[in-house]
A and B are shown apart, each in its own frame.
Chain A
C-alpha cells in the first residue's frame, strides 16, 4: 500500500478514490459548456484552420470557467485548485476534443513557470496566462523527438543580463501561435542533465522562426521553431533546470493520461450506441457476442486506465513521493486503452467508421498522436521500472 493510502492520514493528504461533490459539479458545468461550444462541427471547422482555435470560445472558457488558471495559485491570478481539477479539465477536453491551446498554455507553459520560475517571474507571467491573454507553450523536444532533458542540444549563451539561444525545437504544441515560449536549452560545453535550464522567449522576438507542421492529428497543432541568436531570459536558476523540466513533463503525462481516458470514453460510448442501433442479419450487431465481448473488454480497459489516471492525479496533488513513477504508469496505460478503444470503435462502425464524414477518425488520430506525444508507452514503461528501482 502507498503511504498516502494509510487511513491514519488527514483526508487532504490521502488519495481520494471518489471525486468530491464540488468536483463533480465542476465537471458537469464544464461538460455542458463543451457540448454547447465544441460540437464536432466546430472541431472540424477549427482543425482545418492554421490557428486551430476559436478566440471567442477561448475567452469564454477563461471568463466563465477560469480554466487556464484553474491550478494556478490565487496569489498569481489563478483559481487556486490543483492537479486533480486540472485533470478533470483535460479529461473533459479530451472527451469533447476541444480545439484550443489549453494543453500548451495551462498544462505545459503554466506548470513550467510554476516549477521553475522565481516568485517575481510567476507574478509577472502567470496572471496573464490565468486571464487567457497570454498563450504559452513548452519547447523541449528537438527534431530527434526525445522527451528527456538530457537530450537537449539547443545552446544558451549568456549575453548581458540575458541569454541568446541557438537551436531547433520540434513537436512544440501550439508553438506557431503561442506568445510565450518556455524553452529548454543548455549552457555551452555542458552534458547530460547538467547545465540544462528553462528560458523564457517572447515568440515575436528577432531570431525566432516558427512553422506549423503537418500532423496526423489536425486537432492538436504542432510547430517547429528555429532559434538564431534569439533573446531569452533564464527562468529560475541554472542548477535546477532539468528537475523542473522533468517535473513539468511528469505532470503533463498525468494530464495527458486524463485527456486520453476522456477520449477513450467517447469512443466506448460511441461504439456502444452504434452497436445498439445498427441492424445486420435481422438483429442489432450488439446482440452478437463477438461485439458484446469487444465492448465489455473496452469498458474494462477504459476503466482500468481511468483508475490509473485518476490515481496519478491524486498522488501528484498531494505530492506523494511515488507520483512521478505513477505518471509513467498512467501515461502508458491510457495510451494503449485509448488507441485500442478508437480502433475498435472504427471496427464496430464497419465501412462508415473509415469515412471522413464519420467522427470516429477525429479521436482515432488524437489517440494515435497522443500515443507518442510526451513519450511512447514503452518509454514510459521503462521509466516506470527505473523509478520503481527495479
Chain B
C-alpha cells in the first residue's frame, strides 16, 4: 500500500494528464499509456499496470480523469473478471501477455463455464481437456456464453481427470476463440435478443502455457472468477463521472467501441427492472394518483433503496480492506427481488398498454423489454436458489446438504 495523501495523488495525476491527455490520440495508444503508467487501474499492483493505490484514492484518480474528460481503460464485458482472476492466479507470462491488452480494449473476453449438463453445478463440467504434445486438446460443449461471438479469448473450465471427485478433476484454461476447433452459434432469447451462444469445441487447441494455475486447480480458480462476478451483480450502478468536454477523435472511437462491446448487453438495464423509471412513469401516466399504486411504488422503492445501501456497505467494507459481513452475499439475491418488483409495478403503472411491445408501446418498447427480460436476473450468474444455498450454508453456517456426487466423477449421475 502506498502512503500517498489524497492531495499528492491529485497533483500527480493532474500533472500527468496535463502532459499526456490528448483527445485526438488514437484510442489504443491512449489506453496503452494508461496501462503503462498505472493510472488506468491505480488500484492494481505496481508491477502489473497499476499503482497499488487503495480504492478510495483510485476514486480520486477517476475524478481527475473525468474533470478533463479523459477516456478510461476498457471495462466492458467479462474482461475485468478475467483480469481479476489472472491477477490472483495467473503466471507472470500470462499477466504480461493478457492484462495490458485487456485494458487497452484490444482483446475481448468471454466465460466458458456453463454447459448444457452443468449450470448450477458448474463443477460437473464434462468438456474434456487432454494433453497431447505441447497442446491441451479440448472437446465438448459450452452454453449461455455471453459475447462469445465477439470474444478473442475465453476463460475455460474443463475436465482433466475423470477418476477423482468432481471438484478435483477440473483445470482452468485461457482459450483462443477464433480458431478452427471452436464453433460459436448464437442463441436467441425470449426477449428477442441473441447475446449468448452455444459453443462447440472439436479438437480445439490450447497451448500449454495457457493453463492457469496447476492441473486440478480449476475449481478453486473458477471460484475467484465467480466471487468477482457476484460482487459485480449487486445492482450498484457505477456513478458516471462524465464532466469535461467529450470531443475529439478518441471519443468518437470510444463510442464505436463501446457500442460494439455493449451490443450483447443492451437489454441488461431492462433485466434489472429499471427502478429509475418507476416514479417518472407513475407521474407521466397519472398512476401516481392511485393510492394503491402509491403504496406499491413505495414498497418497491424501500426495497430498492435498502438493497442499494446494503451493496454500498459491502463495497465500503471491501474498500477499507475489512472482511465483508453477510451483506456481501445478499446483493445478488436482493437485486432479483428488486427486478421482479419492478416488473410487477411497471405493469401496474402501465395497465392495458403492458400488452404492447415495439416502437408504439410505452417508452418506445422499453417497458415491454423490462417485462420480458427480468426473468433472466434470477438465473444468470447463479440462480436465486443457489444464492440462497450459499447464504444458508456459508453465511449462516447451516448444515450442508447431503451429497450425492462424491467419489470418482466417472460414476456420478448426470444428465
Contacts and interface: CB of A to CB of B under 8 A. Distances in A.
B237 interface: no
B322 interface: no
Contacts of B190: 346, 354-356, 358, 360-361, 364-365
Nearest to B369: A216
Interface in B184-205: 187-190, 192
B383 interface: yes
Given A222-B355, A282-B403, A351-B114, A365 B372 contact: yes
B262 interface: no
A66 interface: no
Given A282-B404, A368-B371, A378-B292, A351 B352 contact: no
A214 interface: yes
Interface string A356-383: 1110110011001101110110100010
Nearest to A282: B405
Interface residues of A, number: 44
A58 interface: no
Interface string B352-390: 111111111100000010011001101110011100110
B383 A354 contact: no
Given A288-B385, A350-B379, A353-B375, A368 B354 contact: yes
A122 B114 CA distance: 61
Given A347-B383, A351-B143, A280 B355 contact: no
Contacts of A190: none
Contact of A145 (B353, B358, B368): B353
27 contacts: A147-B352, A214-B361, A216-B356, A279-B413, A280-B118, A280-B120, A280-B124, A281-B121, A281-B124, A281-B401, A281-B404, A290-B388, A347-B384, A350-B120, A350-B379, A351-B143, A353-B379, A355-B189, A356-B192, A357-B188, A361-B190, A361-B372, A364-B190, A364-B375, A368-B354, A375-B352, A378-B293
Contacts of B109: none
A217 B405 contact: no
Interface string B325-359: 00000000000000010000001101111111111
Interface residues on B, range: 35 or more
Contact of A216 (B120, B293, B372, B378): B372
B11 interface: no
B412 interface: yes
Nearest to B375: A346
A282 B165 CA distance: 12
A371 B350 CA distance: 12
A225 to B, nearest CB: 14
A346 B191 CA distance: 13
A103 interface: no
Closest 3 CB pairs of A and B: A145-B352, A282-B405, A214-B358
B415 interface: yes
B40 interface: no
A171 interface: yes
Nearest to B293: A378
Interface in B91-142: 114, 117-121, 124
Contacts of B348: 376, 378
A368 B340 CA distance: 13
A208 interface: no
Interface in B290-318: 292-293
A202 to B, nearest CB: 26
B144 interface: yes
A262 B111 CA distance: 40
A372 B119 contact: no
B375 A354 contact: yes
A361 B188 CA distance: 12
Interface string A239-283: 000000000000000000000000000000000000000111111
Interface of A: 141, 145-147, 171, 213-217, 222, 278-283, 288, 290-291, 343, 346-347, 350-351, 353-358, 360-361, 364-365, 368-369, 371-373, 375-376, 378, 382
B414 interface: yes
Nearest to B193: A356
Given A215-B356, A371-B347, A351 B119 contact: yes
A382 to B, nearest CB: 8
A360 B376 CA distance: 13
A279 B414 contact: yes
A346 B190 CA distance: 10
B412 A347 contact: no
Which has the most chain B C-beta neighbours within 10 Å: A279, A282, A346, A365?
Answer: A282
A351 B145 CA distance: 11
A178 B213 CA distance: 66
B360 A350 contact: no
A213 B359 CA distance: 10
B189 A356 contact: yes
